[in-house]
Amino acid sequence: MERRIILPKKGDYNVFKFEEIRNDKVGPNEVRIEVHFSGVNFADCLMRKGLYQDAPGYPFTPGYEVSGIITEVGENSSFKVGQKVMAGTLFNGYCSEIILPEGQTLALPENYSLAQGASVLVSYLTSYMVFMAQARVKSGDRILIDCATGALGSLSYEILKNYNVEMVGLTSSAHKKNLFKQKGRTLLLASELTDQKFDIILNSRGGRTISDDFNRLRPNGRLVSLGISNALNASFINKWKTLLNMPWFWIVKLINNNKGVFGLNLLKMFSYPETIEQALKGFNEFNIVPPEVTVFKAEEIGNAQRFIEEKKSMGKVLLSWRD
């Protein structure tokens, strides 16, 4: 019996329900995937709390990424039954079987386990859109990443290691600074950033930090704003405060500073399937080493989200459907 997890309403860790699913027929250029692992992301926790504006209405099935084995292919498919794959999904990833367009599906790299296959695509797609599709990284760039110690930071590093660039991460923790130094990565405390300038800045914190980072751009530099992570775990009042603090840029200011600003919303990018497909096609070029994974049984979804919210995870948290 194939199942999916339902988020029926805003709630605590025990709010989730399971229900049986019977999937439709597989259409042209679609594949049916026997899901082995579903990735759990921080955004999923925010949806459970009712704090994610782009979530669909309740009830719905969260989840952005899965890995598994193809059990059926539609007409014209370039995939084969039995093939191991990983896929990005626009919600609905918390399930034991899913039908997806081929453009969101990618053959599992040979050196990946199925678990690792469910651990990279959300961060990869985000990082790809920031550095490849929007900022268009090039040799010699000096790059600041304000979420360097998380999954997105790791994937950014994995993409950018393929370029001759200087990557600086921002951290608030002297402990993490030393930890990442051992891995060969440079982290700086905010107090150490004084007067440092960058060609590309990835800003995920939002609010007033965007204007600070804008001032850190070199001429012809570009900032990519990912949203408002500062606000997402905050109180109702602080959430609105951060939103109201999201800056406006007068084009005349951009002209007089010779700078650029981008914004990225990955969910809305799924409305342009060719953009997602192109990003996925590039995956194998980057030789991406997947993060460490912590696996929970699907029934333990509440504990899996708690594990993330209590910041116990050092890598990626997965749900297992077949163990």
> 113 near 104, Cβ under 8 Å?
no
Rank residues 23 and 257 by Cβ distance to a copy of itself and give the closer one.
257
Give dist(CA 296, CA 284) in Å, integer. Answer: 27
> 280 near 101, Cβ under 8 Å?
no
Our measurement of the distance from residue 240's CA atom to the centroid of its chain's CA atoms, rounded to an integer in Å, reads 23
Give the tokens for residue 254.
Answer: 């951009």
Among 117, 115, 93, 100, which Cα is nearest to 4's? Answer: 93
CB of 265 to a copy of itself, least distance (A): 5
CB of 157 to a copy of itself, least distance (A): 21
Rank residues 14 and 256 by Cβ distance to a copy of itself and give the closer one.
256
> 159 near 132, Cβ under 8 Å?
yes
> 186 near 169, Cβ under 8 Å?
yes
Give dist(CA 318, CA 38) in Å, integer. Answer: 6
CB of 131 to a copy of itself, least distance (A): 11
Rank residues 33 and 55 by Cβ distance to a copy of itself and give the closer one.
55
CB of 245 to a copy of itself, least distance (A): 10
CB of 243 to a copy of itself, least distance (A): 7
Rank residues 119 and 203 by Cβ distance to a copy of itself and give the closer one.
203
The dihedral sign for the CA sequence 285, 291, 292, 298: negative
Q: Which chain residues interact with a copy of itself by CB under 8 A?
A: 129, 133-134, 136, 138, 206, 210, 218-220, 222, 224-227, 243, 246-265, 268-269, 271-272, 275
CB of 285 to a copy of itself, least distance (A): 15
> Cα 65–6–85 angle (5° rounding)?
20
Rank residues 3 and 208 by Cβ distance to a copy of itself and give the closer one.
208
Rank residues 118 and 231 by Cβ distance to a copy of itself and give the closer one.
231
